[in-house]
Amino acid sequence: MSLTIRAAGADEGDTLSTIAMTAKASWGYPAAYLQLWKADLTITAQYIETNMVVCADWNGEPVGFYTIVETAEGLELDHLFLHPDHFGHGIGDALLRHAMACARENGADELRIVSDPNAETFYAKYGAERIDMVPSQPEGRELPLLRLPV
């Protein structure tokens, strides 16, 4: 079994979008919520071409990815998703560590993360701290804003 971490190709948007939707659905969210979030979980060729988008391949097949975007506050981990069939094998760990190294190489001393509540404890294991809450959908829902030193 082999893990490869590599830059995503502009033609991989559909595959990455499927991974994101499948991972999000694995947390038991209602279909109506997943529909609300579909646009945010859709990775387009333009998104791939204008941001840092990195894939994790397991035996040659994409099974996870992360994205880093530049914001006014600095670098933000916009997405980190792993197909649920591959949970528990260290791939999420490898992706996050790679993202942290990438952020450091690009001059950042931290990554900001607007985290799904289900993922906050994952990021906390790496030193992420909650610094705020930000509005989400549906109305009234809030997400933790984390600061992760890199």
Which structural domain, as residue segments, surrounds residue 73?
3-149
Q: What CATH number corresponds to the domain at position 52?
A: 3.40.630.30
Mean per-residue pLDDT, 46-62: 97
Percent of the chain scoring above 90 in pLDDT: 99
The number of domains in the chain is 1
The strand ranges marked E within the chain are: 3-7, 52-58, 61-71, 74-82, 110-114, 129-135, 142-149
Residue 81 has pLDDT above 80, yes or no: yes
What pLDDT is recorded for position 66?
98
